[in-house]
Homo-oligomer: A and B are copies of this chain.
Amino acid sequence: MFGVKTLRTVGTAVCRRGASVLWKPTRTQSRTQSAAAGQRVDIGGIYPPIATPFTQKEDVDYQKLDENLQKYAKIPFKGLVVQGSNGEYPYLTEEERVEVVRRVRLALPTDKLVMAGSGCECKALSTKATVVMTERMAGAGADLVLVVTPCFYKGMMDSRALVHHFTQVADSSPVPVVLYSVPANTGLDLPVDAVVRLAQHPNILGLKDSGGDITRIALIVHKTKPQDFQVLAGSAGFLMAAYSVGCVGGVCALANVLGREVCELEQLCVSGRWEEASALQQRLIEPNTAVTRKFGVPALKQAMEWFGYHGGTCRSPLQPLSEAESQQLRLDFSTNGWL
């Protein structure tokens, strides 16, 4: 039993880049009914994959989390990704992970989507455990789940195994599934042929691709067009290029810090103002690299402090930035005019 993607025959003008949510299951509504109505979730837009603030003792600081959420609620995000890598989810317990999702859903306006990571990314849990976690996330209020490629036994994770895994998860998930390919963390790309097959599953409606290979991304958009499959860029670094080849949005760590600016880039792309988009895109690359590949979550949290959010420390084994790293981080923002 699962939530359902749009029926192609329905005439409602589904704008891939539109801002409105055409269909979002309520807690009480029968999903089958929704399906019958042929509605779908339009996931197009920008999502920050939010960070998890901790107290001095490294406990989750729900108070600070709430304060961040109040600020994010005012930015034209399509929604939030909770328990992505930037949320340090690998270092949270299962209970913490579920509780954070619950808090986020409560704090956010209902027109913002909550996309919860349930795939346990490099945690490499079994298919069964992912199924269970998916149900818990939906139970805590997630509108969508983001399910990463299992990666532990890399060599064995061929298309056959991956299609089997995601199909099992999607078959049983109460909410729609977004696939997640992030080779920098997992060491493997979800193969294009697997994506094409999975796109045909009625409960899988999109892909977050963090690899940044724009040729591959364009090919996926091309080959899943019959299914109206929705592809999200996994980083602000190639957001504009992704829009140019047909992506519908992005999950961008940088949006935790420069949320309005990333949304502005989205709008410029969606409205076809490519020259302005290009100028803005270029200024976002260095800060984006700094809070992701270059210095990671500790840098993201450091920059959040500079821009009025609660960032704070990470859980060990993640270490705080050195003084030199912190200065370089600042430079990556200031030379582009953001500080």
Name A residues whose Cβ lies closer than 8 Å to a Cβ of B. Answer: 58, 85, 90-91, 93, 121-129, 150-157, 160-162, 164-165, 168, 184-185, 187, 212-215, 218-219, 221-222, 235, 237-238, 240-241, 243-246, 272, 274, 277-278, 281-283, 285-286, 289, 293-298, 315-319
Contacts and interface: CB of A to CB of B under 8 A. Distances in A.
Given A156-B318, A282-B219, A283-B222, A124 B123 contact: yes
Contacts of A294: 155
16 contacts: A58-B128, A90-B125, A90-B126, A91-B126, A123-B123, A126-B317, A154-B185, A161-B319, A162-B317, A165-B317, A215-B238, A218-B237, A240-B245, A243-B244, A244-B244, A245-B282
A15 to B, nearest CB: 12
Contact of A298 (B156, B164, B215, B219): B156
A36 B162 CA distance: 53
Given A214-B238, A240-B245, A124 B122 contact: yes
A126 B316 contact: yes
Given A152-B90, A282-B222, A315 B274 contact: no
Nearest to A273: B272
Given A272-B272, A282-B222, A289 B215 contact: yes
Contact of A152 (B58, B185, B219): B185
Residues of A contacting B: mostly: helix
Given A122-B152, A164-B316, A282-B245, A129 B91 contact: yes
Given A126-B315, A162-B317, A274-B274, A214 B185 contact: no
A153 B184 CA distance: 9
A122 B215 CA distance: 25
Contacts of A319: 156, 160-161, 164
A219 B336 CA distance: 11
A264 B124 CA distance: 35
Given A127-B317, A164-B317, A285 B218 contact: yes
Listed residue (A165, A237, A283, A285) with the most chain B CB atoms within 10 angstroms of its CB: A285
A237 B160 CA distance: 27
Contacts of A219: 282, 285-286
A161 B317 contact: yes
A85 B153 contact: yes
B85 A245 contact: no
Given A219-B286, A246-B278, 5 more contacts: A122-B151, A221-B282, A244-B277, A272-B272, A274-B274
B213 A127 contact: no
Contact of A318 (B161, B221, B244): B161
A213 B215 contact: no
Contacts of A153: 85, 185, 296-297, 318
A162 B123 CA distance: 18
B215 A282 contact: no
A212 B217 CA distance: 12
B164 A218 contact: no
